[in-house]
Amino acid sequence: MSSNFYGKDGFTWFTGVVEDRQDPLQVSRVRVRCVGFHTQDKTILPTADLPWATVMMPVTSPSMGGLGNTPSFLVEGTWVVGFFRDPDMQEPIVMGSLPGIPSTAPDSTLGFNDPTATYPSELNVPDTSSLARGTQKYPQNIDNSIGIPVDPYAGEYPKNHVYETESGHLKEYDDTPNKERIRERHKSGTFYEIHPNGDKVTHIVNDNYHLIAGNDNVQVKGNVTLNIDTNCTTNIGGNWDVNVEGNITIDGSTINLNSGTKGAARIDDTADVGDDPAGISAGDGSNKIQTGSATVFIGG
């Protein structure tokens, strides 16, 4: 019986450092320099000559048909652990990554380092996200003139579960007792956050667009306040029915109805209705109203 498969030919483990993730096949492979198997001298063994390692994915990722979480999120400089699935040790499989507290800056001239000298990006601090360790490094920086609730961040290790990308996108699922939150943030600063009491804050640093292909139904149990610093245009293709059980108050410097150009008449306005001879009230004696509002105009 052949012994050329794992389980029959021994089981060789390794630890090593990722030096390349630009997989030409785009199947999440990485080049790993393995401790005890590969030299640190890149003149003897360049990064380009390291074997490609397949990355083992969790059972929540099927690794098929583009489903699940792809590609794997190992970066140059990541310490990993794995095993070789062939006796020649040319087919490594990465089982997981190893966090730590980096103490030395990357040296791109040596193996077992990030060739781009990018990682580790911080020294003498844990590889764990500072948000997970209780440091808010992305505080809310928004105009609070409308009374937005204060930032409730009070994350405690190990209760705040953080997913952060290289550019600064992040997700937080914070289970800190009595401070439970959910936050999703774009590197630009746009974010939404659900507070411990269920309040939701959405902050958009640029433009916002909504497109609803079907119907839209909104019910608000409390009050609604809409603050617009500049102009507002509402275009409605059909009818607009407004049913109000209370009063309607419209206050503006000028109000135009139906593209109006003629001033509306109001109680106590001075008007010539044609009931006096011509010239007595500076009118022409006709039945036309000649004066009206200077701020409310009505069209035909």
Question: pLDDT by residue (tens digit) across 110-147?
Answer: 999 999 999 999 999 999 999 999 988 887 777 777 88
**Cα separation of 51 and 39, whole Å?**
13
Same fold: 12-97 with 128-225:
no
Q: What share of the chain has pLDDT > 90, as a percent?
A: 71
Neighbours of 80 (CB within 10 A): 21
Task: Write the pLDDT tens digit of every residue in 34-71.
Answer: 999 999 999 999 999 999 999 999 999 999 999 999 99
Helices (H), the chain: none
CATH architecture assignment, domain 12-97: Beta Barrel (2.40)
Domain boundary assignment for the chain = 12-97, 128-225, 249-300
DSSP 8-state code for residue 123 = S
Q: What is the pTM of this model?
A: 0.83
Task: Write the pLDDT tens digit of every residue in 62-91.
Answer: 999 999 999 999 999 999 999 999 888 999
Token pair in block for residue 49: 């000559």
Q: Yes or no: is domain 128-225 CATH 3.10.450.190?
A: yes
Q: What is the mean pLDDT of the chain?
A: 88
pLDDT of 285 strictly over 70: no
